[in-house]
């Protein structure tokens, strides 16, 4: 009986390990900061060397977590969901303390900025084995501190709430799944994983609402990480594709908020940091 129980427990352990290997592991050694500026806002991040391996050049990835209704004072109604925005920051390879800073966002809408990072202008590209990277010698962070963002919420690694799903690569169908009775077998066209909720009502719909979410993210990020602000406090926005709409709208909203802060009509506690724009760069932008 003892041998049978031991064998059964070993089998359960093996199944559990296989199942766990298909989903994101619980993060370890993550720094979590409660915002000094606003109740309920948090930042979680970790220094890593997954992509930028140049000696002495640091990178950090993580999330800015905004609670439900965090955007209410900015005029966004019915934000009943959390906004957990993924970022990946890379120091410049040349004098990061004095380098300018640029925010990169892919377009779509709905395109992850990891595409720009890993296929276009980031510090590394992915090898054909899909399990390793090599340095991009022409990376934009040769000269600039780069902040890559997945936005709006539910795009890329940004999420409202984590949800297990199945996806059929042949049809493109994603379905919310309950794996309490076990994880189904995967093959070349059928996968399981963890995604955002897939509820289209739980995201910042429209460019104007997304601009407000990004502005709130930036207020938090630049004030909680003052060491990464450019010396002249000017930042650039770079984007492509649907960024032809995102970029101008986001830049305009940043400027509007700067003016409100300067003339005293915006006095919300913890949200009065001037986000001075230097350059708006649009690549192959959508404009209709």
CA distance 25 to 276: 38
Could you tell me the two tokens for 217? 């993210």
Query: What residue spans of the chain are helical by DSSP H?
Result: 2-20, 114-116, 207-224, 243-263
Q: What is the mean pLDDT of residues 20-36?
A: 83
Q: How many residues does the chain have?
A: 288
Please tell me the predicted confidence (pLDDT) of residue 14.
Answer: 32
- Please state, in angstroms and as integers, the Cα–Cα distance from residue 247 to each residue in 36, 59, 110, 210, 271, following that order: 29, 25, 14, 11, 21
Q: How would DSSP label each residue in 153-194?
A: TTSTT-BSS-EEEEEETTTTEEEE---TT-PPPPBTTEEEEE
pLDDT band at 286 (very low <50, low <70, confident <90, very high): confident
Q: What is the mean pLDDT of residues 246-264?
A: 95
Contact 115, 82 (CB under 8 A): no
CA distance 233 to 181: 53
In eight-state DSSP terms, residue 203 is: S
CATH classification code of 35-161+196-283: 3.40.50.1820
CA distance 98 to 281: 21
Q: What is the mean pLDDT of residues 39-58?
A: 95
Q: Is pLDDT at 10 greater than 60 in this prediction?
A: no
Please tell me the predicted confidence (pLDDT) of residue 44.
Answer: 97
Q: Which of 84-88, 140-144, 209-213, 284-288 has the lowest mean pLDDT?
A: 284-288
Please tell me the predicted confidence (pLDDT) of residue 204.
Answer: 92
* Residue ranges covered by each domain of the chain: 35-161+196-283
pLDDT band at 3 (very low <50, low <70, confident <90, very high): very low
Contact 123, 166 (CB under 8 A): no
Please tell me the predicted confidence (pLDDT) of residue 280.
Answer: 96
Please tell me the predicted confidence (pLDDT) of residue 5.
Answer: 32
In eight-state DSSP terms, residue 72 is: G
pLDDT tens, position by position, 173-220: 989 998 888 888 889 899 898 999 999 999 998 999 999 999 999 999
Q: Is pLDDT at 18 greater than 50 in this prediction?
A: no
Contacts of 108 (CB under 8 A, 6+ apart): 155, 241, 242
Instruction: Give the end-to-end CA distance of the chain in Å, rounded to a whole number.
Output: 72
- What's the chain's average pLDDT? 89
Residue 61 parent element (H or E) = strand 59-66
Higher pLDDT, 69 or 1: 69
Please tell me the predicted confidence (pLDDT) of residue 231.
Answer: 83
User: Which is nearest to 250 in space by CA: 226, 222, 229, 279?
Assistant: 279
Q: Is pLDDT at 134 greater than 80 in this prediction?
A: yes
Contact 44, 31 (CB under 8 A): yes
Q: Is 242 left (phi over 0), alpha (psi -120 to 50) or beta?
A: alpha
Q: Are strands 124-126 and 101-105 parallel, antiparallel or unpaired?
A: unpaired
Please tell me the predicted confidence (pLDDT) of residue 22.
Answer: 66
Q: What is the mean pLDDT of residues 74-100?
A: 96
CA distance 153 to 172: 20
């Amino acid at each position: 009986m003892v041998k049978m129980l031991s064998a059964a427990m070993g089998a359960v352990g093996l199944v559990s390990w296989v199942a766990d290997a298909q989903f994101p592991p619980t993060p370890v050694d993550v720094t979590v900061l409660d915002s000094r500026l606003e109740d309920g806002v948090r930042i979680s991040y970790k220094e890593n060397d997954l992509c930028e391996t140049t000696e002495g050049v640091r990178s950090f990835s993580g999330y800015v977590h905004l609670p439900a209704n965090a955007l209410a004072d900015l005029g966004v109604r019915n934000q009943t969901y959390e906004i957990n925005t993924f970022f990946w920051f890379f120091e410049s390879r040349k004098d990061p303390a004095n380098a300018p800073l640029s925010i990169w966002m892919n377009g779509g809408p709905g395109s992850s900025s990891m595409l720009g990072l890993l296929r276009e202008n980031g510090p590394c590209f992915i090898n054909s084995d899909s399990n390793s990277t090599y340095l991009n010698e022409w990376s934009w962070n040769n000269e600039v501190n780069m902040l890559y963002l997945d936005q709006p919420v539910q795009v890329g690694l940004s999420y409202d709430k984590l949800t297990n799903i199945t996806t059929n690569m042949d049809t493109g169908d994603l379905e919310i799944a309950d794996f309490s009775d076990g994880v189904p077998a995967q093959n070349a066209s059928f996968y399981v994983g963890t995604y955002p909720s897939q509820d289209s009502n739980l995201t910042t719909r429209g460019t104007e609402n997304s601009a407000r979410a990004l502005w709130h993210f930036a207020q938090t990020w630049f004030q909680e990480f003052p060491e990464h602000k450019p010396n002249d406090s000017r930042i650039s926005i770079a984007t492509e594709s649907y960024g032809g709409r995102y970029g101008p709208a986001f830049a305009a909203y940043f400027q509007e908020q700067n003016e409100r802060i300067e003339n005293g009509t915006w006095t919300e506690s913890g949200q009065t940091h001037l986000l001075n724009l230097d350059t708006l760069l649009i690549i192959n932008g959508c404009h209709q």
